[in-house]
Amino acid sequence: MKVLIVDDEFIAQELLKGFLESYDAIWNVAINGIEAVEAFQLALAQRDPYDLILLDIMMPQMDGHQALREIRRIEAEEGIGGTDMVKIAMVTALSDAKNVMEAFVKGSCGAYLTKPVYPEQLHRVLLDFGLVDEK
């Protein structure tokens, strides 16, 4: 699976990379929403889209909510819908209902992870998204 890790914090990026090493995965890292949207668009243009985007909410320049909306806007423009839409899990220290609901309702993200992220938590998301099989 091809994963885009989006987080402005180095340690958070490294943590997620470490977890992904247990899977048959390749990944890229973006440090804010602007880079995330660029990476998403580049992958689409190369016809090698991401299977999963792990999207931090609190980031400078463009936050995760904005990036989520932008990615969904681009997909709509490109006629990408349903199961072809990229799977997105919001990663956040903000476990409050408002932030999570905003991401689900307005941005149609499919899952969220709360920091600190544990391997079991990520695994559950990968299972829910059908990206790995139950062992």
Tell me the C-alpha distance between 89 and 122, whole Å: 9
- Give Cβ neighbours of residue 69 (< 8 Å, ≥ 6 apart): 106, 107
C-beta closer to Mg ion: residue 38 or 78: 38
Residue 109: CB minimum distance to Mg ion, A: 16
C-beta closer to Mg ion: residue 6 or 126: 6
Residue 65: CB minimum distance to Mg ion, A: 12
C-beta closer to Mg ion: residue 29 or 59: 59
Contact residues: Mg ion, CB under 5 A: 8, 56, 58-59
- Give Cβ neighbours of residue 63 (< 8 Å, ≥ 6 apart): 33, 57
Residue 48: CB minimum distance to Mg ion, A: 26
Question: Can you list the positions of beta strands (E) in the chain?
Answer: 2-6, 26-30, 52-56, 87-92, 111-114
C-beta closer to Mg ion: residue 59 or 89: 59
Q: Which two tokens stand for residue 99?
A: 């932030």
Position closest to Mg ion via CB: 58
